[in-house]
Chains A and B, each alone.
Chain A
Amino acid sequence: MTGSRRGFVWKIWLGLGGVALAEYVWIAADFLRPRARARASNGAIVVAGPVERFEPGSVTAFPAGKFYLVRLEDGGFIALYRECTHLGCTVPWLDDEGRFVCPCHASAYDIRGNVLNPPAPRALDLFPVRIENGIVKVDTRRAVKRQTFEAAQVTYA
């Protein structure tokens, strides 16, 4: 009788200890949660410039916005986030080869961001492009993931 009562109290103490630990873990998790601030500094709407400034078939780097503005041969625009979809290295555009080649593990992408060479698992991410009164604007707040290039991703003047 006494034995089982003692066992019961013992279990309560153990349970309370468990609750205290869980609370600490919960609080710690919130301390570790990424703050919103880190996101806000991440991007904004970048005014790239008038449509005519970009020749068809050209790639223009915007280092501050972390993207490339691509004008395809047919005159349409896409903005490619410069981060490799494999493991996040910054992918340079090689003008003479006409493709993006990642220095880290040699993934290659064509001008539309499609994978030419693995290990990259999917095409380069996109930033939404808008054209207002002949001015190209790129929304760098959030990168859009995609598997591969599709015609619907292109913005025309």
Chain B
Amino acid sequence: MSEKRERGKQTAEAEPAESGERQGVLSGVWHSIFRGPLVPRSDRDRKLIVVQNFLLHFRPVRLPERSLRYTHTWGLGGMSLVLVLLLVATGVLMMFVYQPSPEEAYGSILAMRDEVLFGKLVRNVHHWSANFLVIVALLHLLRVYFTGAFHTPRQFNWIIGVTLLLCILASNFTGYLLPWDQLSYWAITISTSMIGYVPLAGEWLQGVVRGGTDIGSATLITFYTLHTTVVPVTIVVLMAFHFWRVRKARGVIVPRGPDEEPEEYPERVLALPNLLLRELAVALALVAFVLVFSVVFNAPLGNEANPGMSPNPAKAPWYFMGIQELLLHFHPFFAVVLIPLLIAGALLAIPYLRYDSDASGVLLLSHRGRRMAAIAAVTAVVVTPVLIVLDEFWFDAGAWLPGMPSVVSNGLLPTVVLAAALAGFYVALKRRYAASNNEAIQASFVLLLTALAVLTATGVWLRGPGMALVWPWIS
């Protein structure tokens, strides 16, 4: 502590003498803001920059060399941050033009697109960054899970992460209504109707979200406020918390091979330049990619909202397509309330389960873990489509069990059967491979996740008019 202070003092005094009068006023101003040197000339300067800069001190001074390997983190957390910053930058610009009322909203989007300098580009960047953020944050979740980076001391950071993911979805969802076109109007109609299936409080909750019984100006102003204030502020606060916890856990998990013991004292290198330059490179590449993508592809904009005519098919945004697909197979209470709650609960429970071994840092736990994960993925890819087709064309519990309420025949019954099948899969696989519970839980995680991916893909590509199954290449 005292040593650090001592060193800080030294440069503060030494620096002006070193750079001489040449930099004069400019260097004086610089040093009134940043205490470290402007251009580092030695490793000591590099350390000082990291320690003394408010933003950079979120980084350790030194970090294990192995954790720097790009294919360990894939830079996904940093990419999420970059996308959030792009969203803030473009969102603030759009707030100067956008008008949050049903009469004006659509027109103001058109005006932004057609009359404002680079208005279309700014809207495109916002749209694509938001969509990429969902994907990148999900991939980041996968990376964290599969490198086992959720055990102590990182348990709570996983929870913060899941909350961030929910905030990202909330942000996408509330933003979806703002253009007030046919897409947004009907997607929000359908999703807010889902709230009506929450037992007891459903109708009240739906009234609160919509600001009345119908979707109208009260809904728009509620969504606008959530989208431009409540959710972004929450995300920024949570991100600071998230980074602080990464720092307190002494950086990201250190990777190791399946047969290696964790190293007590891994070899360390300086954060500047080794970490910071890599982060900068990833950030610049991502910004370039988003810009090019936004020049080439326009954000969609349908016709102005028409409450009298639902488009056919009326689809949810892609990240809710998995739930929409569930809706076609399950009683709504199960599809939109129970099953999503179970998934969220399972995600939050992951770091707090009792595990046989602490395999943190090993990609996919072990050789056996990798094989079991592959089996789970293949199982889901085969079984999910079969179940979808069976339910679509053959399985009809409602007709086979007349007199049984649809909550049971179409909800409880299939849910229990599927849960039992999952439990059976877990037990069978664990026995067959004499596996640890880490490996069996990981396989179940892969199974469910792949199933969700298949459901989403089905909703996006294989559902046509009237939500019937269609082949995408036959239109």
Contact = CB atoms under 8 A, between A and B. Distances in A.
B309 A90 contact: yes
A15 interface: no
Contacts of B332: 86-87, 119, 121
B314 A38 contact: no
Interface in B214-248: 214, 216, 218, 222
Given A88-B190, A104-B314, A119-B332, A34 B218 contact: yes
A34 B406 contact: no
Contacts of B313: 103-104
B24 interface: no
Given A103-B312, A104-B313, A90 B216 contact: no
B3 to A, nearest CB: 36
Name the residue in B189, B208, B311, B406 with the highest tally of chain A Cβ atoms < 10 Å from its Cβ.
B189
Contacts of A38: 211-214, 216, 218
Interface in A82-111: 86-92, 101-106
Contacts of A87: 189-190, 193-194, 327, 332
A102 to B, nearest CB: 8
Contact of A101 (B194, B214, B216, B466): B466
Interface in A20-73: 32-35, 38-39, 41-42, 63, 66
Interface residues of B, number: 35
A137 B328 CA distance: 37
A106 B468 contact: yes
Contacts of A121: 331-332, 406
B385 interface: no
B214 A103 contact: no
A134 interface: no
Interface in B301-353: 307-314, 327-328, 331-332
Interface string B382-415: 0000000000000000100000001000100000
Interface string B166-198: 000000000000000000001001101110000
Interface of A: 32-35, 38-39, 41-42, 63, 66, 86-92, 101-106, 118-119, 121
Interface of B: 186, 189-190, 192-194, 207-208, 210-214, 216, 218, 222, 307-314, 327-328, 331-332, 398, 406, 410, 465-468
